[in-house]
Amino acid sequence: MGDQSLAYSHETAVSYEAVTEMLRTPWSDVYRISPDGQKYISPQCLNGTLVQKITEDSDYWVPRWFSLEAYLAQEDSEEKKKRESKEQYRINPHNKDLAKKHKLHMDNVSKQRKIREIFGHDSPYHPNQLVSKHHLPAEGLCEQELMYKLACKVSDLRVLHDKGELAMDPWDFLRWRIAKKMQSMFTMSAQSGRDVIKRIVFSICEDSGSKGASKIYEDPTLRAAIIRSAGYQGRLASFRKPGDKSRITKTKTNTAGMGSIIQRRSKVDPIPSALIRQSALSRSDKRQKKSTQPSTYGGVNAYRAQQQQQRDNARL
């Protein structure tokens, strides 16, 4: 465990061992797929959701949902607005309105890049497959702030997956924890989570205190896992609480060489900037390390391979 235990100096409610046990949960302990391999059966909050990434011309798509494709198509326009606002602010650097305008476009571009990285055309993930249709609000989940929140958490979990600590695919893991939290709030089996899903996404990794209004939506163990990832990335200060200044400074010093480094979040934007991480190991070292480690991910592909093997054996 080493210096990483310092990451828990301000997260005493959850033990390091409890987080490790959660991260090691295999995909097969949580997920079940229909016999034809097309839809999820379990977790319950994903029942009926397609396994493959949905498209906006598929039968699964609901026309009133906000479009992910339309959102991604705005990126070039926002990049242009960022350049234009930068030039306007350069000409008039004392204009506070121009400064705010440029900051807005910089933030939007940063968020759009992260959302494209996690939910773009080359990704197998779609926000509206976070939970089943039964639990989605009328407009779906393709809103910038919500998608950015999800994307940052997936990025943080990827760090743990790359280090061999997270057994599941990061998206599957996050969906499981959100489904588990949502299910814990239900009093009836057929209850819908459409009224709480957004609040869960925004609050699940937060800490509102023992009497906080958002406590019911929070997952302390998942938050502790995200803090562990932040420790590897050298940005534990993002989770600093009042009175923790000296403690976090010590943690930063002791964990400086533990993993990849990320640009620290600004005080204005408490959400991870999640810029592309630069590994402390070279790419070749990473590949060599992975090649010597057994795979811990047993997701959809592993399930399908197992099913195919069973069918092949039956023919013999």
Long-range pairs for 252-256 at CB < 8 Å and ≥24 separation? 254/3, 254/6, 255/3, 255/4, 255/6, 255/7, 255/231
Q: The whole model's pTM is what? A: 0.77
- Ranges of beta strands (E only) in 91-149 are none
The range of the structural domain enclosing residue 214 comes to: 2-315
pLDDT of residue 13: 78
Q: Which residues of the chain have pLDDT under 70?
A: 1-12, 240-316
pLDDT of residue 19: 97
Q: Classify 178 as helix, strand or coil.
A: helix
Distance from C-alpha of 265 to C-alpha of 102, rounded to nearest angstrom:
17
pLDDT of residue 298: 54
Q: Is 61 exposed, middle or buried (0-12, 13-18, 19+ CB in 10 A)?
A: middle
pLDDT of residue 316: 56
Number of domains in the chain: 1
